[in-house]
Amino acid sequence: MSDFFDALETRSPAEREAALMAALPAMVAHAQSRTDAFGASLKGVDASRITSRAALATLPVVRKSELLARQQASRAAGGDPFGGFSAIGWRGLAAASGARRVFQSPGPIYEPEGEGADYWRMGRAIYAAGFRAGDLAHCSFSYHLTPAGSMMETGAHAVGCATFPGGVGNTEMQLQAVMELKPQGYIGTPSFLKIMVEKAQEAGADIRSVNKAMVSGEACPPSLRDWFASQGIAAFQCYATADLGLVAYETSAREGLVLDEGVIVEIVRPGTGDPVPEGEVGEVVVTTLNRDYPLVRFGTGDLSAVLPGTCPTGRTNTRIKGWMGRADQTVKVRGMFVHPGQVAEVVKRHPEVSRARLVVQGEMASDRMTLKLETATPADGLAARIADTVRDVTKLRSEVELLPVGSLPNDGKVIEDARSYQ
């Protein structure tokens, strides 16, 4: 039995990169021609020239807030519920066919599901979690409104598993099903798995058939993972979104998350579309190769960083550290919103600066800003010039502190709100 879901996981990094970059121009062209949203945002772009990561980085980042705003505006006008982002739909829409299901996430944001097998590509993550053909997987993700249940079930089917669609809630009935069906694995949130294990212990119920789990939807810290292990359950995490499907997944090495084979991932400086150096924390930006929902440079709003080297399991794709917080660090200072893009604009105007962090301190209504900057060449008058730029960009006064390169923490924060709210 293979240790890998397919041969794509072990191809050389050079072979993988060549394949992804070869697929990229056609993907950009498809998004331009088949969706109104990218037809507008990528107007004038020569898709045939988008053949490298450097070229990809010149395209605009589409963030979830923009997707939601466009969907809301389109629906208010009686138009496309997807806001022009989907290349599939049903009768009555511009894309009149191809959708198998449609889901609603908070916002609301609507996401289409197409007709392909393992549409969300979750099979790779479920296989890495130890599930194999012939297993019964108990799936306790929601099967209505949101796509999680369908995402996981179609992935389990791709592995060859049978599934019990438990859905959410009804703990006693789900526990009874586990006792009587004796599934080999659990798929769902880590918190619900913990509840079921504890209720089984209270009731003296035997659920020892469950020896592995694919958990997602919320954090599963090492302490909880170790607790599951003490109960005989090997729990693995994955990083997926309702817009993109699988982005990255955990392996038995327990060293970060390996990127999925069907996405191109960049880590960019929050508030910008500029890739950061390898190892630096930034926002996860994803280009999917899904032609039904062709998101190009989709900003997830999540922070992460690339890990050096490859996975000890033999999987050769890039690894990321996992979820490290949110990239949207907008704050309100003296009645004015300040966002990471403005900090990036200040840095752009001063090439001597390599990294920046805006710290907001004090109490509400009497707060103050300090822009901390790394520079290898702290020339005379630089701090004063930068202070003028900050005022020009934000309309607010700020102190400026020049620091040696490497002084700021590598945590992805561009704006730190250190005020007292008591």
pTM of the predicted model as reported, rounded to 2 decimal places: 0.85
Handedness of CA 115, 117, 120, 121 (dihedral sign): negative
Average pLDDT, the chain: 93
CA pseudo-torsion sign 230, 234, 235, 237: positive
Per-residue pLDDT averaged across 76-98, rounded? 95
Which pLDDT score is estimated for 413? 87
> How crowded is residue 19: how many other Cβ atoms within 10 Å of its Cβ?
14
Angle 206-209-211 (CA atoms, 0-180°, nearest 5)? 120
pLDDT score, position 378: 86
Report, as an integer, the average pLDDT of 343-363: 91
407 burial via Cβ count (<10 Å: 0-12, 13-18, 19+): middle
pLDDT digits (tens, 9 = 90+) for 199-223: 999 999 999 999 999 999 888 889 9
pLDDT exceeds 90 at position 34: yes
Q: Stretch 329-358: mean pLDDT, rounded? A: 87
Region 287-298: mean pLDDT is 97
- Residue-wise pLDDT tens digits, 178-201: 999 999 999 999 999 999 999 999
pLDDT at 330: 79
Residue 26, pLDDT > 60, answer: yes
Average pLDDT over residues 36-46: 97
170: Cβ–Cβ under 8 A, 6 or more apart, which residues? none
Strand order of the β-sheet with 399-403 is 399-403, 366-375, 353-363, 415-417
User: Mean pLDDT across the stretch 64-84?
Assistant: 94
Rounded Cα distance, 388 and 237, in Å: 46
Q: What is the mean pLDDT of residues 296-312?
A: 95
Least confident of 51-65, 158-172, 312-326, 408-422: 408-422
How much is the average pLDDT of 259-283? 94
User: What percentage of the chain exceeds 70 in pLDDT?
Assistant: 98
Q: What local confidence, expressed as pLDDT, does residue 87 receive?
A: 97
Amino acid 365: pLDDT:
54
What are 244-257's pLDDT values in tens digits?
Answer: 999 999 999 999 99
Q: Which residues pair with 290 in a beta bridge?
A: none
- 130-139, 290-299, 362-371, 403-412: least confidently modelled range: 362-371
> Residue 420's pLDDT is what?
67
